[in-house]
Structure 1
Amino acid sequence: MREILYVQAGTLANYIGTHFWNTQESYFTYSDDEESLVDHDISFREGETSKGDSTYCPRLITFDRKANFGTLARTGIFSEKNDYIPDSQLWQGAISEHEYKPIEPHAYQTHLQADHNELDLSSASREPVRYWSDFNRTFYIPRTMQMLPDVPDWQNTEGDWAFGQETFERFNEETELMEGSVRLFMEECNSFQGLQWMMDTSTFGAFSHSFLIAFYDELSRAPCLSFPLMGDVVPRNANPENTVHMRKVVNDAVCLRELGNLSLSTVPTLNPATWSPGAWNTNLRIDNGYYHTSSILSAHIESSTFPLRLKESQDSISSFSKHLNFHGSHRFSQLSGVFPVACATTPQHISLQLYNFSSVTEDPLRVNRILFAIYHSLNRRLQTTYHTRRDVTRGFSTSALEAYEAWFRTQSIKEPFVISKHTQAYPLPSSFPDIFCDESIVSDHRSRMTRIDSTKLPSMSMFTSLNTNTDTSEMFVAYANFIQTCIDRRKTGILTGLIETLDDMKELANDLWTIHDGYSEYSTDELDAEES
């Protein structure tokens, strides 16, 4: 079956994950005339509802603070036979109940439960989204939902490594997480291929690190494909005199180093708060809320990993990651893409609108620097050199495919280091926010969809790419230089229990430089000589 176990940890991860699973749900077909391209058994597990009805639910474990689940416990969970026993059956004494005022369901959930026609269903964006469960379309089994105790408002746990480790150890002991929920998911698999992991590094970095170590020690050595969602402070705008800034950046650096050892492939993904405006979002109308920004990240993450779930594909997490690490020293990849893609796009549009969601050195002037490098070739250090790339185009028109092929021919990288997959358009379920400001793009695709089959969901063309390139070296330079600044200012005790002394900081900086050397076209000595 090539089953994948998905894990989401943190609020942003669960916003992205909710869009991700809504998209997966849209691939199901319900008539004999339709056949899905997707092998649903890879991501879903079959079970029964409390009424004995057969149903498919995601093979997913999701972690978040209890307050962030919203109404999901009442609206989106199927009970499962022998899954748990209510506390009231274990305690024979008197029971005193104290109830909080219930959270009102989101209007979107009310529409779903009323079983309205999908095409008439109002968009979730018509009412403000409060929780990631507000726009959820998928049902889960109880062991998917892992609710962690809430943190007091006065306690800042972002970047607190010791707190994250203690939280996992306590939660694992109290809930028998590894021996219970995780093991049960594993035992349902016929041919388990690995983990696809997504986590907020600031709040769940240490927690995720502890989970992976326990998973490998107790259950399986299957490979992991990780999407760490970086914190809202990156080296370029961090103040080393600000304790919170310093802790967040060092925490992210440690997360990257540890994932480099634990994951077969890691794709660092920028926090939306650090995105730079540019040509990439000229066709989008997005605000800074997670509901909008997570939909874009989800579209790229879902599409870039789409080949892993296709019936016709022979890809697995192992082969997928090994191709990205073709040269043996590239365990970190970058995520980039164009969303949406106009039917009449050109190679120039692809070049200008292609945005890197993994580059911590990204800034508003980067487009000008790239154009300068391309057209004048005066400084090859400004150009991105690709080592490997996996491209996915979705729903491209004939002219758009021709534009992609023309753009592809301008790239220095060729097969077998690049693999291209052309597949169906990206579906837009009613839970997807209305973020498209170029109505011509939307109407073009809607008219094409209507002519083919008016009963299908709207969809959009997009281009996404997972790749290893020299920009990764710049990312690790940025982190290593920030760590060196902290060393020079003799900052200690940053991450309690892990990065406490100057020796710990020096070791971290050296590890980051070692990773950098695997991506850069220059050695460290050459860079130092040029800078001097």
Structure 2
Amino acid sequence: MREILYVQAGNSANYIGTHFWNTQESYFTYSDDEDPIVDHDVSFREGQTIQGDPMYCPRLIAFDHKVNFGALAKANNFFSDSVSYAPLWNQSITEHEQEPIEPHVYQTHLQAEGDLPFSTDASTIRYWSDFNRVFYTPRTIQMVPDVSGWRNSEGDWSLGHETFERFNDETQLMEGSVRLFLEECNSFQGLQLTADTTTFGSFSHSFLLAFHDELSTAPCLSFPLMADAVPSDVNIEDVEPIIFSLNLHTHPLLRTENSCKKDCQRCRIPSRTGQYFSYERPSTKSEKVAQKSFRRVSKARSDRAKSQGSIYQDSSVLSAHIENSSVPLRLKGHTENIPSFCSHLNVHGSQRFSQIGGFFPVAASIKPQDFVNQFYDFSASRQSLIDATFYTRRDVTRGFSSNALHAYDEWCSRTPIKEPYAVSTHSLGYPLPSSFPDIFQDENILHDYRKRNTQITSDLPLPSLAMCTTLSTSTGTASMLADYAKFIQTCVDRGKTGILAGKIESMDDMKELVNDLWTIHDGYSEYTDD
């Protein structure tokens, strides 16, 4: 069945993941004459509730700190945590319970009235679970202990590694939840990982090492969320050395999956293990994502509410592109899989970092030149892409009108890259479930739908929009890698150490990192003349 195991690690990653699964849930059909466009068995597992009823749940491992789960618990009306412990104390017990978090009004609305058109106010979102629409099995919910308030966990490589080792020992994660998910698969094709690199970069790296060492050598599609800081924007004299770790969000992944053989041997991960598509974090994209098609969150009750509301909105756009770019893996009748994705994008064998971008929504009156002017790349600066040479490209369009398809074909005819290096997939419009934020400047997009007070059925289909997402490999990645290499070289020249806590502490380590970055950089620049 080409099953995929999904992994989400970190608060922003779970915001994106929640939108992702809400979209997957919208593909389900409930009548015999409706045929879903996707194969649900790729992403969902079929199990039984405590009442014995069948239930489809995401094949997902979701890591986050306990404080970020909100009202979401392992046990619910359909599933219970079957783990029980024998009491070690037979005397009287006085229990002190923390006041439970009240469910969001959206969750109360779903349980009481069903799926009616409902507008979710961004300023009221407190946690990613507030707008969740799917049920999870207990093994999906992985609550990582909160970090002490006096300790800054961002960029601390050693802390993330220690946290994973301790968490795995205490919960039997790899031998329990992860192994059970894999044993349910008939033809497991690989992992799809979304992770916050600043807070869960080292944790995710340790998970991947354990996964490949103990369970499977299957490839991984990774969508790491980049740190807020960019090397070219940082003044080295104004930042303490320990903060430099925020700028090295790619380093944990580079050390895991670079083209340097000694690193592959050190990590014992095959050199063909996967592909990475770096994103800027939702908090960084706040103003960049807010293009002319979108509007920003307003009237927040507090700074935290405004921050969470902004992540809620921005993550919906990032999630749409992740879901859209990977939809060929789930479409019925398609033979695409993660290994073929990786092989196509990494055509030269040394380019495991790719870009992801696109535009959303797409107007029906789009012109060929708009595919250049309106395109937004989430992985590299626009300047670095102007003169870039593209090696491979995968386009996925949704809901294009005949005019938009004609404009797309004309644009493709003008680009130098052709089949088989350029691949296109066209499908139905991108659905907007009731949990999707009302971020569009055009108030008519969701107005009629959300004003109706009727149960959602096949007679009242979900609204959908046209969009386009592109996965590509080009020389544009080289400039990003060069920025990191130059930044660290500057640190070496000025004698600044402590770049990555617990990992890059000596001058020799920093020099080795610079060499590794330039080695990967050369993998993107040496084919420019081909």
Is residue 2:198 matched to residue 1:194? no
Q: Residues 91 and 415 from structure 1, CA distance in 2 versus in 1: closer, same or farther, beyond 3 angstroms?
A: farther
How many residues align? The count is 498
Show the counterpart of 2:517.
512
Confirm or deny: 8 A CA contact 2:8 2:195 kept in the other structure.
yes
Q: Which one of the candidate residues 415, 427, 443 is aligned to 2:419?
A: 415
Q: Residues 86 and 239 from structure 1, CA distance in 2 versus in 1: closer, same or farther, beyond 3 angstroms?
A: farther
Q: Which one of the candidate residues 383, 401, 407 is aligned to 1:403?
A: 407
Aligned mates of 1:251, 1:127 — CA distance in 2: 29
Aligned mates of 1:159, 1:435 — CA distance in 2: 32
Q: Residues 338 and 383 from structure 1, CA distance in 2 versus in 1: closer, same or farther, beyond 3 angstroms?
A: same
Secondary structure at the residue paired with 2:139? Answer: helix
Aligned mates of 1:75, 1:218 — CA distance in 2: 28
Confirm or deny: 8 A CA contact 1:22 1:137 kept in the other structure.
yes
Is residue 2:41 matched to residue 1:41? yes
Show the counterpart of 2:368.
347
Is residue 2:217 matched to residue 1:221? yes
Is residue 2:65 matched to residue 1:60? no
Deviation for aligned residue 1:494: 2.8
Q: Which one of the candidate residues 481, 501, 505 is aligned to 1:500?
A: 505
Is residue 2:268 matched to residue 1:264? no
Letter in 2 for 1:155: R
Aligned mates of 1:285, 1:88 — CA distance in 2: 54
Q: Residues 103 and 278 from structure 1, CA distance in 2 versus in 1: closer, same or farther, beyond 3 angstroms?
A: closer
Deviation for aligned residue 1:156: 1.0
Q: Residues 86 and 92 from structure 1, CA distance in 2 versus in 1: closer, same or farther, beyond 3 angstroms?
A: farther
Show the counterpart of 1:246.
244
Show the counterpart of 1:437.
441
Aligned mates of 1:224, 1:279 — CA distance in 2: 27
Aligned mates of 1:248, 1:278 — CA distance in 2: 20
Is residue 2:328 matched to residue 1:307? yes
Is residue 2:134 matched to residue 1:149? no
Q: Residues 238 and 158 from structure 1, CA distance in 2 versus in 1: closer, same or farther, beyond 3 angstroms?
A: same
Gaps of 5+ in 2: 259-263, 298-306, 451-456
Deviation for aligned residue 1:483: 0.8
Aligned mates of 1:94, 1:47 — CA distance in 2: 39
Deviation for aligned residue 1:47: 0.6
Secondary structure at the residue paired with 1:6? Answer: strand
Deviation for aligned residue 1:240: 2.4
Q: How does 1:169-208 map to 2 (within 5 A)?
A: 169-208=165-204
Cα distance per residue 1:212-238 (max 9 Å; x no partner): 111111111111111111111111222
Confirm or deny: 8 A CA contact 1:286 1:293 kept in the other structure.
no
Q: Residues 94 and 494 from structure 1, CA distance in 2 versus in 1: closer, same or farther, beyond 3 angstroms?
A: farther
Aligned mates of 1:134, 1:290 — CA distance in 2: 13
Letter in 2 for 1:265: Q
Q: Residues 522 and 194 from structure 1, CA distance in 2 versus in 1: closer, same or farther, beyond 3 angstroms?
A: closer
Q: Residues 408 and 475 from structure 1, CA distance in 2 versus in 1: closer, same or farther, beyond 3 angstroms?
A: same
Show the counterpart of 1:376.
none
Is residue 2:111 matched to residue 1:98? no
Show the counterpart of 2:496.
491
Deviation for aligned residue 1:442: 6.4
Deviation for aligned residue 1:445: 11
Deviation for aligned residue 1:329: 1.8
Cα distance per residue 1:99-125 (max 9 Å; x no partner): 111111111001001133x3x332222
Q: Residues 126 and 169 from structure 1, CA distance in 2 versus in 1: closer, same or farther, beyond 3 angstroms?
A: closer
- TM-score of the aligned structures, taking structure 2 as reference length: 0.89
Deviation for aligned residue 1:90: 7.1
Show the counterpart of 1:379.
none
Q: Residues 72 and 273 from structure 1, CA distance in 2 versus in 1: closer, same or farther, beyond 3 angstroms?
A: closer
Letter in 1 for 2:471: L
Cα distance per residue 1:461-489 (max 9 Å; x no partner): 10001110111001101111111111111
Secondary structure at the residue paired with 2:121? Answer: helix
Cα distance per residue 1:116-172 (max 9 Å; x no partner): 3x3x33222265100000000000010100001111223211000010000001000
Aligned mates of 1:413, 1:277 — CA distance in 2: 32
Gaps of 5+ in 1: 371-381, 447-451, 527-532
Confirm or deny: 8 A CA contact 1:111 1:121 kept in the other structure.
no
Cα distance per residue 1:415-445 (max 9 Å; x no partner): 0001000001000000000001034666899
Q: Residues 74 and 326 from structure 1, CA distance in 2 versus in 1: closer, same or farther, beyond 3 angstroms?
A: closer
Aligned mates of 1:344, 1:231 — CA distance in 2: 36
Deviation for aligned residue 1:255: 3.0
Show the counterpart of 1:281.
291
Show the counterpart of 2:10.
10
Cα distance per residue 1:189-227 (max 9 Å; x no partner): 111111111110000111111111111111111111111
Aligned mates of 2:468, 2:244 — CA distance in 1: 35
- Say what the alpha-carbon RMSD is for the aligned residues: 2.4
Confirm or deny: 8 A CA contact 2:389 2:474 kept in the other structure.
yes
Aligned mates of 1:499, 1:232 — CA distance in 2: 20
Secondary structure at the residue paired with 2:473? Answer: strand
Confirm or deny: 8 A CA contact 1:26 1:429 kept in the other structure.
yes
Letter in 1 for 2:162: E
Deviation for aligned residue 1:402: 0.8
Deviation for aligned residue 1:279: 9.6
Letter in 2 for 1:437: Q
Q: Name whichever of 83-92 and 485-494 sits farther off.
A: 83-92
Q: Residues 492 and 92 from structure 1, CA distance in 2 versus in 1: closer, same or farther, beyond 3 angstroms?
A: same
Show the counterpart of 2:348.
327
Aligned mates of 2:293, 2:86 — CA distance in 1: 54
Q: Which one of the candidate residues 386, 390, 395 is aligned to 1:391?
A: 395
Show the counterpart of 1:79.
79
Is residue 2:138 matched to residue 1:129? no
Q: Residues 522 and 6 from structure 1, CA distance in 2 versus in 1: closer, same or farther, beyond 3 angstroms?
A: closer
Aligned mates of 1:444, 1:101 — CA distance in 2: 39
Aligned mates of 2:398, 2:448 — CA distance in 1: 15
Aligned mates of 2:26, 2:197 — CA distance in 1: 29
Show the counterpart of 1:160.
156
- TM-score of the aligned structures, taking structure 1 as reference length: 0.88
Confirm or deny: 8 A CA contact 1:233 1:245 kept in the other structure.
no
Report 1 or 2 for greater relative contact order, CA contacts < 8 Å, sequence distance ≥ 6: 2
Cα distance per residue 1:52-108 (max 9 Å; x no partner): 11100000000000010001117867425xx63234667655433111111111110
Secondary structure at the residue paired with 1:321? Answer: helix
